Structure 1
Amino acid sequence: MAEILPLDKALRPALALLAAGEVVALPTETVYGLAGDATNGEAVARIFEVKGRPRFNPLIVHVSSLDMARKIAVFDAVSLKLAETFWPGPLTLVLKLREGHSIHPLVTTGLDTVALRMPRGFASTVIETSGRPLAAPSANSSGRISGTTAESVNEDLGAKIRLIADGGPTPVGLESTIVKVGPEGVRILRPGGVASEEIEAALGVKVLRGGVANSEASVEAPGMLASHYAPDAALRLDAAEVAAGEALLAFGPARIAGAERAVAVLNLSPAGDLREAAANLYHHMKALDRTGAGVIAVAPIPATGLGEAIRDRLGRAAAPRDG
């Protein structure tokens, strides 16, 4: 299994492994990322190999400064305002690649755009110290539940990687919001840790929504596949009652009918707080999946604020799966 080190001991070995073209699991404010040097083709190929990720699904490139980002991509005025408002933080921007950039083409899967994000904390320190951008999708097997603790990453990928930097539970608990600015306006390709209302408030305009890809040709950015973030159990969304033998993923102070019949119950937020619910989502999904229940009934969750991103992840987790 991988070596798990606290952050105060993980920096030097992480830098050494990354310099050698290896991949390491690092905490960010969203989820744990499986990081490799975005300029090194062998490292990027290793990310796809470890995750079992389809090669047509692009990766997010993480940077430590706006200056580093501008050497990779061309910023329009609106994207620049979003970066200045929300970076560092859980916002990813899809931008045109700059001529002469150093990002390996495996990262962008042949697209002429790149997804860029500036994380907070340890991941940013690693990028700044190394001077190299990192490709870092979520540290989990492709299509499965993202890791929000070092232990969950180790359970999933520990046999395939050498180091996990342990920063404790990630505070946001959901992947970043992905935004693309185009002639038609500002479009959210994937809702996430920055709510659409926050983006609208920053720009003073309504944002467009839409980002489900059902084919290789329609993937514009990471996290767009229709089936994703999935447990072994089936998910039944907006459940009004719990059937015998089901587990219950609850939300808020009220319990839906038949909750007493559930084989296990976990509440995303007893107080109905969407930020708490987002932070708990993947951990609770994994815990209920371990009960062996064939179905997880999910209580209704509002679609406002971070509820939009929570519902997006649950919808993809409940989608029909290949095979």
Structure 2
Amino acid sequence: MSEEQTPVDQQEIVDAQGPVDEHRAADAQAVTDDGAPQWQRFDVKSDTSAALAAAQAAVAAGECIVLPTDTVYGIGANAFSAAAVQGLLDAKHRGRDMPPPVLVAEAGMLEALADDLPAHALRLAEKFWPGALTLIVPAQQHLRMDLGETRGTIAVRVPDHDFTRDLLRRTGPLAVSSANVSGQPSSTTIDAAVEQLGNSVHVYLDAGATPGSTPSTIVDFVSETLGRVVRMGAIGIEELREVNPFIVWEDEVTQDDAIEADLVGDDPAGDEPSGSLDESSAPADDETGIPPGEADETGQATAERDA
């Protein structure tokens, strides 16, 4: 991409974003009376219009919302607002070293957010989006997003949830992480999200229980151009390899090595002094299931059980 290109802003990406309904926006304002919750809750099935308007107004005001996805509930904020993203991180009690992924409404938006997309990444997106697949790719050079310490990368997903995709068409890309405090279980119901996040969220969007607690599968195309699975989730390795037979899954390699070592009688840890701790046996990064060193390679420690 040439230096003459202009920065990509929210308006360029969100052509279909409509005006905020002022009456609905008023309904979404936090209740501040003594002892009253400072948030609003909407049933997205019975009150769809009000839910969409309230959520759109909250996002436009820089507030956090909780929204349903096809995996678990997510906490979302305007991806183009550094203050809003910081509010999301604060709500989860996590730092900028764990930047949230970005949810978009359509697969075609990936090329507006990313540079130098590998062909294998595009094929996976075409096959599994909308769906439970998150792709880590190089961020578009002039993208006006401050998601944290991304090191020039961005994690993107199109959720397979009609209401949420409709919302994303109104708000534009949202920074979204699992609706839980770091270290706690992901929320599969809106009540669980309210219990954990409380007044740090402005609008809760209730769509009933999610399909389960299994998060999206995350594939990294930054550290490995053929694709490297950094978190196995709802989409399995067999499904991924039907589209991209070259994709790397290091857990699989580790398991195969252990089986082979067992068959020949080798001690796979024989070179390590007793009690030593190498990176592969280090405690997993908070909620990621990935040793900290691996998460640092891409700058996207997004293997948390994010929506």
Structure-2 change in CA distance of 1:14 and 1:97 (3 Å): same
TM-score after normalising by structure 2: 0.68
- After the TM superposition, list the runs of 4 or more consecutive aligned residues in structure 1 that deviate by more than 6 angstroms: none
Q: What do the CA deviations read for 1:97-121 (whole angstroms, capped 9, x no partner)?
A: 11222322xx141411110101122
Q: Quick one: distance in 2 between partners of 1:48 and 1:11?
A: 23
CA apart distance, 1:218: 5.1
CA apart distance, 1:197: 1.4
Greater relative contact order, per chain length (Cα 8 Å cut-off, separation 6+): 2
Q: Quick one: distance in 2 between partners of 1:87 and 1:38?
A: 20
TM-score after normalising by structure 1: 0.65
Structure-2 change in CA distance of 1:72 and 1:108 (3 Å): farther
User: Does 1:96 find its partner at 2:138?
Assistant: yes
Q: Quick one: distance in 1 between partners of 2:80 and 2:51?
A: 22
Q: Quick one: distance in 1 between partners of 2:236 and 2:243?
A: 11
Contact 1:51–1:142 under 8 Å retained in 2: yes
CA apart distance, 1:205: 3.5
Structure-2 change in CA distance of 1:46 and 1:207 (3 Å): same
Structure-2 change in CA distance of 1:67 and 1:201 (3 Å): closer
Counterpart of 1:20 in structure 2 is 61
Q: Provide the aligned length of Structure 1 versus Structure 2.
A: 224
Q: What do the CA deviations read for 1:173-207 (whole angstroms, capped 9, x no partner)?
A: 32211001355632101111111111012223353
* 2:156 paired residue among 110, 116, 121: 116
Counterpart of 2:166 in structure 1 is 125
Contact 2:219–2:231 under 8 Å retained in 1: yes
Letter aligned with residue 292 of structure 2 = N
Secondary structure of 1:71's counterpart equals helix
Counterpart of 1:180 in structure 2 is 220
The structure whose residues are more often strand, as a share, is: 1
Structure-2 change in CA distance of 1:110 and 1:221 (3 Å): closer
Counterpart of 2:79 in structure 1 is 38
Letter aligned with residue 291 of structure 2 = A
* 1:212 paired residue among 275, 284, 290: 290
Secondary structure of 2:41's counterpart equals strand
Can you give the 5+ residue segments of structure 2 that lack an aligned partner in the other structure? Answer: 1-36, 252-288
Structure-2 change in CA distance of 1:184 and 1:72 (3 Å): closer
CA apart distance, 1:166: 0.2
Secondary structure of 2:109's counterpart equals helix
Q: Quick one: distance in 2 between partners of 1:28 and 1:49?
A: 21
Secondary structure of 1:28's counterpart equals coil
Percentage identity across aligned positions? 32
Contact 1:4–1:150 under 8 Å retained in 2: no
Q: Quick one: distance in 2 between partners of 1:146 and 1:154?
A: 12
User: Does 1:221 find its partner at 2:263?
Assistant: no
Question: What RMSD over aligned residues (CA atoms) do the two structures have, in Å?
Answer: 2.1
Q: What do the CA deviations read for 1:216-250 (whole angstroms, capped 9, x no partner)?
A: 8457434447xx89xxxxxxxxxxxxxxxxxxxxx
Counterpart of 2:101 in structure 1 is 60
Can you give the 5+ residue segments of structure 1 that lack an aligned partner in the other structure? Answer: 230-323
CA apart distance, 1:14: 0.3
